[in-house]
Structure formats: C-alpha cells, structure tokens
Amino acid sequence: MATASHARPRRRAVVHHPVAKSSFSASLLRAAGTKTARTALVVIGAAGLAALAVAIVGPKRLERDLIKPLRGAIEPQAEKLWADSRPLREQIAGLFQNATPKGRERLVRNFQSWIGHFHAT
C-alpha cells in the first residue's frame, strides 16, 4: 500500500486542437476591409478614372478645356490670398521666435486646438 506522500500524481491526457487556418481569400477580405486599404482603393480608383479620362479626351484637349481655365481662375485669387495673409504669417512667426521653449509648446498646443476646432466644424 502506498501512503499519501508517495502517491503518484495522475496524468491528464493533453488534447491538441488543430488551429483552423484562415483561407487566403478570407484574410484578403479582412485586410481589404481596413480603413487604410479602403483609402488606398479609393485613391487607386480615382487615379484610374483620371487616366481613363485622359485616354478618352486626350491630354492636349484636357489641358486646353479644363486645366488652363481653372488655373486662370484660381491663380490670381490664390496669389491675392497669399499676399493678404503676409502680415498674419509674420505675426505668427514672431510669436514663435520670441517665445520661450515652454511658451512655444503652449503656442503649438493652442494652435493645434484651434485648427482642430475648424476641422471639426
């Protein structure tokens, strides 16, 4: 007879369950559903449509009928806005140059908050 101190521990059977491997198509669908992949697909699709438009219409006609008129309408306004914003840009640059390192950190946080406010609205 064996005493309690000399009793053998019982062994349990170890059961290994096979890990189900996901198929290639399932993993591809899962990867395609991410936000980054969807964004990439939209960009690729837009580039493809632009290439198709250039192929159908022709590059010279596209430039003559679309790009030059847009450039003519947008460039003067953009140059005027850039020139009008010069005093404000110089004022902001002066704030950063004259601030202490801790003051710069606060300015950066405040500008980030301000920009975030406009992105949210």
Which tokens go with 81? Answer: 């806005």
What does pTM read for this prediction? Answer: 0.42
| CA 43 – CA 56 distance, rounded (Å) | 20
pLDDT tens string 50-72: 999 899 999 899 899 988 999 99
Residue 95 contacts residue 107 (beta carbons within 8 Å): yes
Residue 96 contacts residue 89 (beta carbons within 8 Å): no
Which percentage of the chain shows pLDDT scores above 90?
Answer: 43
pLDDT tens string 18-39: 655 668 888 888 888 888 889 9
Please give the pLDDT value at position 19. Answer: 57
